[in-house]
Amino acid sequence: MESEQLLAQLLYQYQDQPGGLLPLLHAVQADFGYIPADAVPPIARAMQLSAAEVEGVISFYHDFRRQPAGRHTLHICRAESCQAAGGEALVAHLQARLGIEPGQSSADGELTVESVYCLGNCACSPALRIGDATHARVDIARLDALLDSLLESAS
């Protein structure tokens, strides 16, 4: 019930904004952590679109999730600048330590790992982001320290 009210509030806020679908989807995801399937029909009605159009937009953009993410999300940069500076070794280390690939979440739901193509920290590659906090010049020791503090704070 509470979530229905929250959604109604967001719809009211964005429905008259020109081209407001992306800002609305961002807002829904910020509040719910993902775009719930049952939010799509009311979003479509409010924006005067078909549900298929809304689904099309959600699936087009990497940022929008259809499922909740883990408690933390780690975005690891896979683009050229980070490749040149050892970024793929970090990806391999993440896979070895956590047993998950980018795009997956750990079994306990603590951590989701996502690939990202450039965080704009290319003078100090390789880079990754945990939530809104970016880390650059990351090596394996630093990655381990970041993971330790993340997973420790969870337990």
Q: Which of 28, 82, 91, 94 binds other proteins (CB under 8 A)?
A: 82
Helix axes 21-32, 2-14, angle to 10 degrees: 160
Q: Which two tokens mark 17?
A: 């904004």
Determine, following the binding rule CB under 8 A, whether residue 134 of this chain makes contact with other proteins. yes
76 touches 91 (CB < 8 A): yes
* Pairing, β 128-130 against β 133-135: antiparallel
Q: Which of 6, 15, 22, 44 binds other proteins (CB under 8 A)?
A: 22
Determine, following the binding rule CB under 8 A, whether residue 4 of this chain makes contact with other proteins. no
Amino acid at 113: V
Residue written as tokens 């993340």? Answer: 150
Instruction: Give the C-alpha separation, 142 to 140, whole Å.
Output: 5
Say how many residues touch other proteins, by CB under 8 A: 42
79 touches 64 (CB < 8 A): no
Residue closer to other proteins by CB (options 107, 145) is 145
Determine, following the binding rule CB under 8 A, whether residue 76 of this chain makes contact with other proteins. no
Determine, following the binding rule CB under 8 A, whether residue 39 of this chain makes contact with other proteins. no
Residue closer to other proteins by CB (options 94, 127) is 127
Binding site for other proteins (CB under 8 A): 18-23, 25-26, 47, 53, 56-57, 60-64, 79-85, 116-125, 127, 129, 132-137
